[in-house]
């Protein structure tokens, strides 16, 4: 088990980002090269983020902490909402209105088994590509060398890092899924422990839940063969003896448990990612 307390991490510019000017707090990352690799950050836009209509070969989860996050020109996320952006599904174009936003974001390998490119791998590829062109508004504009003249930024970076053409999986959903947790009812278990099941996605059965733990409660997670991330939206206490507070991220892997001793009522956004097999390269 690992814990990263977001409030104790400084903001820094995201040099690996290929779509706009973002400041980030890097929380935790998974195992590069593994189908279940992931990256979890808190990200902040200054109000000038933009990207074209695009899609990913990985899954993505976004919790909007503050501001208004555009998904398409007609659709935006509001504070407290959670967005599931499936691999292969188009969304955008996105253009900030100048006011900015802050999100917790998890990017992770989806059911296809293509995995997720690590930040270090992406930065190395991006640095190499700037010798052949420039990145602007989510597009790589090539002025030298072989390849598309105008290409989605992430697609260009992925192909540079992987040495092969990016093949997207057939979309399992026709649009990102925006969830409003406040519209769900709590399901109670033991005294002072409550749960909301927000969704179960794809054949991989990626699970999205919210847990509420009242003051003074002691609670332990179940053992599963998965990677589970628990993001503290509010509250304080300890987990396996280590203190946590608002915007902490807790990682539990295959058979581990997290034992909570709650000081101040705690709410956790839980993402459970069961293991997947690697894709077979064409």
Q: Contact, 115 vs 11, CB < 8 A?
A: no
CA angle 270, 82, 3 (to 5 degrees): 35
Summarised one tens digit per residue, pLDDT across range 13-42 is: 887 666 667 999 999 999 988 898 999 999
Distance CA 228, CA 275 (A): 11
What domains sit in the chain, N to C, each tagged with a CATH number? Answer: 179-274 (2.60.120.10)
- Identify the pLDDT of residue 19: 65
**What proportion of the chain, given as a percentage, has pLDDT over 90?**
76
Distance CA 138, CA 160 (A): 16
| Confidence class for position 48, pLDDT limits 50, 70, 90 | confident
| Confidence class for position 282, pLDDT limits 50, 70, 90 | very low
193-219 average pLDDT score: 97
Query: DSSP 3-state assignment of 157?
Result: helix
- Identify the pLDDT of residue 20: 66
Maximal CA-CA distance, the chain: 64
Residue 21 DSSP symbol: -
42-58 average pLDDT score: 92
Cβ partners under 8 Å of residue 7, min gap 6: 245, 246, 247, 248
Radius of gyration of the chain (CA): 19
- Identify the pLDDT of residue 60: 97
- Identify the pLDDT of residue 14: 81
100-104, 145-149, 194-198, 220-224: least confidently modelled range? 145-149
Distance CA 92, CA 70 (A): 8
- Please state, as a whole number, how many other Cβ atoms lie within 10 Å of the Cβ of residue 67: 19
**What proportion of the chain, given as a percentage, has pLDDT over 70?**
97
Q: Contact, 206 vs 124, CB < 8 A?
A: no
Distance CA 84, CA 228 (A): 16
| Confidence class for position 137, pLDDT limits 50, 70, 90 | confident
The DSSP result for 207-224, as a single string, is EEEEEEE-TT-EEEPPP-
| Confidence class for position 52, pLDDT limits 50, 70, 90 | confident
Distance CA 237, CA 230 (A): 14
Place of tokens 């690996």: 16
205-221 average pLDDT score: 97
Summarised one tens digit per residue, pLDDT across range 148-168 is: 899 988 899 999 998 989 989
11-25, 49-63, 183-197, 257-271: least confidently modelled range? 11-25
Rounded to the nearest 10 degrees, the angle between the axes of helix 119-129 and helix 153-162 is 100
pTM given for the model: 0.91
Place of tokens 């990016």: 166
- Please state, as a whole number, how many other Cβ atoms lie within 10 Å of the Cβ of residue 48: 13
The torsion angles phi and psi of 178, rounded to 5 degrees, stand at -105, 120
Summarised one tens digit per residue, pLDDT across range 54-97 is: 999 999 999 999 999 999 999 999 999 999 999 999 999 999 98
Query: Is pLDDT of 216 > 90?
Result: yes
């Amino acid at each position: 088990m690992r814990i990263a307390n977001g409030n104790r991490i400084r903001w820094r510019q995201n040099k690996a980002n290929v779509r706009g000017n973002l400041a980030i707090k890097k929380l935790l990352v998974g195992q590069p090269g593994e189908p279940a690799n992931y990256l979890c950050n808190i990200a902040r836009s200054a109000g000038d983020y933009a990207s074209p209509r695009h899609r990913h070969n990985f899954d993505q989860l976004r919790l909007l902490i503050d501001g208004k996050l555009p998904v398409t020109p007609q659709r935006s996320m509001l504070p407290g909402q959670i967005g599931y952006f499936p691999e292969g599904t188009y969304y955008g174009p996105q253009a900030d209105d100048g006011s900015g936003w802050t999100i917790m974001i998890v990017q992770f390998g989806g059911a296809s088994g293509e995995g997720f490119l690590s930040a270090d791998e992406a930065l190395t590829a991006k640095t190499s590509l700037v010798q052949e062109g420039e990145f602007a508004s989510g597009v790589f504009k090539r002025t030298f060398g072989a390849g598309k003249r105008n290409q989605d930024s992430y697609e260009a970076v992925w192909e540079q890092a992987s040495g092969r053409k990016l093949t997207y999986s057939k979309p399992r959903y026709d649009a990102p899924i925006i969830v409003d947790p406040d519209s769900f009812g709590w399901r109670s278990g033991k005294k002072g422990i409550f749960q909301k099941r927000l969704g179960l996605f794809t054949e991989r059965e990626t699970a999205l839940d919210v847990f509420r733990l009242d003051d003074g409660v002691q609670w332990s997670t179940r053992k599963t063969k998965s990677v589970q991330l628990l993001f503290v939206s509010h509250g304080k206490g300890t987990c396996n003896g280590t203190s946590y507070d608002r915007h902490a991220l807790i990682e539990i892997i295959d058979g581990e448990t997290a034992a909570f001793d709650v000081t101040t009522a705690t709410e956790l956004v839980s993402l459970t990612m069961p293991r997947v097999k690697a894709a077979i390269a064409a």
